[in-house]
Structure 1
């Protein structure tokens, strides 16, 4: 696909405005970083709570399930509501739940209280994402891949920081030290309040978006929208299910197979998350040039040879393959989101809430199922089974083509 074709896609759906509102995008990206750092602390403390409360893999998976379902619970409904009645300060309000949940996680005295704590953190994230996604769309100036890349890379970097701080701070100072990170939530609230006040600054982008939405909203048939959204959901599910095996169980896999220390396993998890951040940004930028369809092909099906090799790799090549797999897989998220927004351009909040909600829900279900499978066949067996998940990427051929996408 030519660059001009990619440009035509943006012009049809969301015309280029005078400029990209980078200050707003970076504020949203940093707030996303703060939010997702808190989220990533949850799996980072799994080795501690597993030992402290004598948990098995199923119970670890249930923690992720509860957290992810809480994160998914309100997102589509909030997104749909704010499509009709924008609530620019709702993202900042959601952070209040995150503060309470983080403090509760630090001082939880039982497994049940850990579940309540992660539920509150999940609710905070469910309120944050839909409005922040819409704000990033409005501030994009038509550079949707760039905007989603900046916003999402903040979340990915935040996800990478959790294992790092666990390795150097939480493991040595205990679970109570996670309460220190309430400062990140205060920073996020300040940035989100500031971004919400920039409504006049991004008004031109908002008006251009509305005009384009009224035109583009009639471009696809109901059948095409349903087919496209169904395929995108399945592709997202396959990607998330594989990556959840890393988020929840990678540290255990490294410890069990290679007998590394907890600190080393956390550092490897940090490498995994930081490669996600790079993959998300590259996927968004390259998608602006070659099109979302091509990026989805590359990112979903492309990792297959590497996932099949991973269960047979030594420690060094496990690290290398982990980076390659995650670079490719992470590049899909921005393109899948933007593809869905192009299909239903009048429901940006709903799309943001739906796909971030799916991110939470599918990840939670996958974590619980993979935990049960790990107890039955071992953690190494789980990685062998999951290595075939990228095959689902062949469904990309059935996606309805966006107007302006080349063949």
Structure 2
């Protein structure tokens, strides 16, 4: 069981850098005068390369065991974000953040495969692994904002520290799980046929969820006024995800994954609408509710995807765990362009449609017929 906490800690350290990019946005606006489109491009840098290459890493890890990718990808993720604040050149900043996105892409498929083995396919145990990533996300504004407020963008090299610590903590679990033998639960998980049509529908659900969540994470700090209020909004958004991740695993163990997913996306619709449209401090309540609802299905996407593609666990993990966070960034420049053409609130209001689409598509999914025991 200690292997799951170790993997969860490493997951937190690598996903810290996905949360760090939105936390950098207010400082890039204040320090370099970037507009909405420019900062949307920075968010895009963290997600575009990751979105493109993450399935490729999934295919590679299905063919060859690559446990060394986990510590190496962590360090690459950290170096990229740490270098992002060192140059006044927009192009170099973009490339540095893109390098971090590449590290994130390399991490998730192999980490998801090892977590599958360590958790024996259990919803609750996999939710703890996912929780690690969510907490890493949540801690980013809490750590990045005071650091850069005190030292400016020049203090960004210190942001490499979580990557190094995460690599060191994760190494014992990686060595243990890559020794060769599969657990009985993991072996049972690879029986059955790959259901590509259902997996394609699940992937679209994940894309819709990602667009609304990444859109909120990129702009909610600016929507709330930036500064301390913006940092609080980001923390509420990310911390609410921790609650949703654990809650989703518990509800799925009791009600099933698909039923839990449908309920979560149905509740996300009014929550996102309130986060975007309700003014004042009450908006924080809706931001938290949005995060809980959008994160409740997060770990369920992973186990469901792996059960739908039992012979392509790495590919399923790369798509469901990695693209869930990254692919939404592809839509961020469109949100930024709409914000500059109208207003930020109007642009974010367009995000309300995406949990509706996720809920509608989730209604077409069913639990896989051959399913391993969950716990």
Which category describes the TM-score, using the shorter chain as reference length?
Answer: over 0.9
The reply to whether residue 236 of structure 1 matches residue 206 of structure 2 is: yes
Distance in 2, Cα, partners of 1:272 & 1:65: 20
The reply to whether residue 395 of structure 1 matches residue 361 of structure 2 is: yes
Distance in 1, Cα, partners of 2:355 & 2:146: 34
1:106 aligned counterpart, secondary structure: coil
1:302 aligned counterpart, secondary structure: helix
2:348 counterpart residue number = 383
Offset of 1:212 from its aligned partner?
A: 4.4
The reply to whether residue 52 of structure 1 matches residue 22 of structure 2 is: no
- Asked if structure 2 preserves the Cα contact closer than 8 Å seen for 1:40 and 1:163, the reply is yes
Deviations 1:148-198 (A, max 9, x none): 211111111111111112332212321122222322111111123211211
Distance in 2, Cα, partners of 1:41 & 1:396: 30
2:34 aligned counterpart, secondary structure: coil
- Asked if structure 2 preserves the Cα contact closer than 8 Å seen for 1:227 and 1:399, the reply is no
Distance in 2, Cα, partners of 1:73 & 1:386: 23
2:327 counterpart residue number = 362
Distance in 2, Cα, partners of 1:73 & 1:356: 14
Deviations 1:331-364 (A, max 9, x none): 1111122111111111111111122442355222
Change (3 A) 1:262 1:209: same
In the alignment of these two chains, the number of paired residues is 370
Distance in 2, Cα, partners of 1:180 & 1:304: 38
Offset of 1:323 from its aligned partner?
A: 0.8
Determine which of 249, 272, 294 is the counterpart of 1:329: 294
Matches within 5 A, 1:163-182: 163-182=141-160
2:273 counterpart residue number = 308
Distance in 1, Cα, partners of 2:85 & 2:277: 38
Deviations 1:381-407 (A, max 9, x none): 0232222322211222221442278xx
2:281 aligned counterpart, secondary structure: helix
- Asked if structure 2 preserves the Cα contact closer than 8 Å seen for 1:64 and 1:367, the reply is yes
Distance in 2, Cα, partners of 1:188 & 1:389: 34
Distance in 1, Cα, partners of 2:335 & 2:178: 47
The structure with the largest alpha-carbon Rg is 1
Q: Which moved more, 1:302-311 or 1:379-388?
A: 302-311
The reply to whether residue 293 of structure 1 matches residue 258 of structure 2 is: yes
The reply to whether residue 94 of structure 1 matches residue 60 of structure 2 is: no
- Asked if structure 1 preserves the Cα contact closer than 8 Å seen for 2:54 and 2:323, the reply is no
Distance in 2, Cα, partners of 1:108 & 1:148: 39
1:251 counterpart residue number = 221
Distance in 2, Cα, partners of 1:106 & 1:307: 31
1:120 counterpart residue number = 99
Matches within 5 A, 1:5-404: 22-143=1-122, 145-199=123-177, 203-205=181-183, 208-213=185-190, 216-218=191-193, 225-255=195-225, 262-392=227-357, 393-403=359-369
1:303 aligned counterpart, secondary structure: helix
- Asked if structure 2 preserves the Cα contact closer than 8 Å seen for 1:272 and 1:322, the reply is yes
- Asked if structure 1 preserves the Cα contact closer than 8 Å seen for 2:42 and 2:94, the reply is yes
CA RMSD of aligned residues (A): 2.0
Offset of 1:76 from its aligned partner?
A: 1.3
Which structure 1 residue ranges, 5 or more long, are not aligned? 1-21, 256-260
- Asked if structure 2 preserves the Cα contact closer than 8 Å seen for 1:53 and 1:110, the reply is no
Which structure 2 residue ranges, 5 or more long, are not aligned? none
Q: TM-score normalised to the size of structure 2? A: 0.92
- Asked if structure 1 preserves the Cα contact closer than 8 Å seen for 2:192 and 2:370, the reply is no
Offset of 1:248 from its aligned partner?
A: 0.5
Distance in 2, Cα, partners of 1:357 & 1:30: 16
Distance in 2, Cα, partners of 1:169 & 1:387: 33
Distance in 1, Cα, partners of 2:121 & 2:91: 46
